[in-house]
Amino acid sequence: MQFTPVNEIPAIRKELEASFRKGVAQSLKWRRHQLYQLARMVQDHLDEWVQAIIADLGRPIAETYPSETGLIIERSIISATQLETWTAPEVLTEVVPDWQKSWKPTIYRAAKGVVLIIGPWNYPMVLTLQPLMGAIAAGCCAVVKPSELSPHYSALLAKLLPKYLDPSAYRVILGGPDVGAQAMEIRCKSHIFFTGGGKVGRIIATAAGKHLTPVTLELGGKSPIIVDPNYDIKLAAKRILWGKISNCGQICVCPDHVFVVREKQEEFIAALKEYYHQFFPDGALASDSIGRIVNEAHFNRLKGLLARTKGNIVLGGQTDDKLRMEPTIIKDVTQEDSLMEEELFGPILPILPVDSMEDAISQIRSRPHPLMLYVFTDDPKLKKNVLANTLSGNIAFNDTFQALSVNELPLGGVGDSGCGYQILRHGFNTFSYLRSSIDMPRDAEASLEVRYPPYTKEKVAF
C-alpha cells in the first residue's frame, strides 16, 4: 500500500474546500447519485472486497457479507431513498405561539463542510463507508483515511472510490498516524469522525479542540456481560460464545468479560464447552469458521495478557503460527487481573464470579462507561435496576451485538467509549447542523414597535 505523501494533503483539502464552496455537493439529485454509486462500487466488486478483507483479517466470508458489504449496499440505498425526508426543512408554524407564526420559524439541515473520516482496521469497510454515507447525505465533502493495518482494503478503496464517486468532493488518503495527524493539522473546522481506540481518540480530541472542530469519537472499551442466575444458562453461553468469536473477538462491542454468580460458574463453563465443540467439531485452529488476529503485535499482546492472568484457563489457550487463537475461557478472574487491564479485542473470555447481581452492577459502575452492556435476564426488575444504575453507550438484553443490524438504532458511546452517533439518519445528523431561521414579514412592523427605543414607560409596563 502506497502512503499518501503528507505534503500532498493540504492541496487535497483545498480542492475539496473549493468544491464545497462551489456547491458541488449541494443538490439532492447529485447526493442521491453518489449514494447509489457507493452501493454500486461495493456490488460491482463484491469478490475483490471480500478477498481484500480476508487478506487483512482472515475473516470468514459468512461474517463479512452481513457486517460489511451487504450492510453498505443496503444502507446506501436506504440513505438515497430517505434523503428527501431527512433534509426536509422543519417548518414550525404549527407549534409556535400565534404572534410568531407569520415569522415562518424553520429549521434547515445544513452541511457542515469538508469533513475528515478516520477509520480503524477491524471492520474496515463499514467503519469508513458508513460515516461517508452520512457525510454524502448531509451534503458534505469528505477526506477518508482508512487504517494502515488493513492495507488490502485501504488500497482497494483508494483505487475504486474515485471511479465511482466524484473525486472533486470525496478523496481517500492512505497512511498511518503521520497522515492522520497531518490531515487534522490543516485548519479543519467542519467535523472529524474518528473510530478507533481511546488513546488515539484523546489525540484527535485535543487536535480538534485547537480549531474548535466538532468531533465524533466512536471508541471502544471493555463491554461487560451480566448473567442472571435465573436465566437459561445454556442459551446465554451459546449467544455469548458467538459474540466472542465473531471477527475473532476484534469488535468494538465484543462482549469483553462476564459476571456470573459464583454458584453458576461451573454450569456456565460446561455450557460454553458444549457449544465450543458444536461450533468447532475439530477444534478452532482447524476451523474455517473463525478468523485470526490482525497482526503480530496484537497477537503477542493477547498472549502476554494470557501469560500473566491469575485466573484458570478452562478452555482453549492454544495458538498457531498463523496468528490464530483458540477461543479461551478463564475462570475465577478478579478486577485486579491482567485480563482486566485493557479492552481485550480478541477471543478471550474472562469470567468474574460475583456474589449477586448487585455486586456485578457495582463492579460495572466502578469502571469507565462501556460502549455496550449485555444483560441476560427475564426479570423486569433487574432490567430496570441495570438501566437506572449504570451508564453505557448501548445496552442489549439477552443477546450480544445483533442490535447493530437494526437500521433504526444509533451506535455511539458515552464517556470513555466516545461521543456522537452513526447509522443512517443518525449519521446524516452528525454531518449536518441545525440552521434555525425566521423570515420576518414587512407587515410585522406594527407588532415589533415595542422593541425599539426610546423605552418609554408604556413599553416596559409588562
Write down the least CB distance from residue 105 to ligand NAD, Å.
Answer: 35
- The nearer residue to ligand NAD, 193 or 280, going by C-beta atoms, is 193
- The nearer residue to ligand NAD, 252 or 361, going by C-beta atoms, is 252
- The nearer residue to ligand NAD, 177 or 304, going by C-beta atoms, is 177
| Cell numbers for 58 | 482472515
What is the chain's Cα-based Rg? 25
Write down the least CB distance from residue 158 to ligand NAD, Å.
Answer: 13
Classify 391 as helix, strand or coil: coil
Write down the least CB distance from residue 300 to ligand NAD, Å.
Answer: 15
CA dihedral of residues 145, 146, 148, 153 (deg, nearest 10) = -140
Burial of 105 (0-12, 13-18, 19+ CB in 10 A): middle
Write down the least CB distance from residue 183 to ligand NAD, Å.
Answer: 7
- Is position 140 annotated as part of the catalytic site? no
- The nearer residue to ligand NAD, 80 or 258, going by C-beta atoms, is 258
- Is position 445 annotated as part of the catalytic site? no
- The nearer residue to ligand NAD, 58 or 139, going by C-beta atoms, is 58
Residue 344 Ramachandran class (φ > 0 left, ψ -120 to 50 alpha, else beta): alpha
Rounded to 5 degrees, φ, ψ at 353 are: -70, 140
The residue from 218, 248, 254, 326 that is catalytic is: 218
The residue from 140, 248, 252, 254 that is catalytic is: 252
- The nearer residue to ligand NAD, 176 or 283, going by C-beta atoms, is 176
Classify 94 as helix, strand or coil: coil
Q: Residue 380 and residue 398: Cα distance in Å, rounded?
A: 12
Which residue's CB comes closest to ligand NAD?
Answer: 220
94: amino acid identity, one letter: E
Residue with C-alpha cell 480538534?
A: 208
Write down the least CB distance from residue 116 to ligand NAD, Å.
Answer: 9
Helices in 139-232 by DSSP H: which ranges?
Answer: 151-164, 177-185, 198-210
Write down the least CB distance from residue 31 to ligand NAD, Å.
Answer: 24
Angle in degrees, CA 194, 199, 59, rounded to 5: 65
| DSSP secondary structure string for all residues of 215-253 | EEEE----EEEEE-TTS-HHHHHHHHHHHHHGGGG--TT
Which residues contribute to the site for ligand NAD (CB under 6 A)? 118-123, 127, 145, 147-149, 176-177, 180-181, 184, 195-197, 200, 203, 218-220, 252, 343, 345, 371, 411, 413, 418
Active site residues: 218, 252
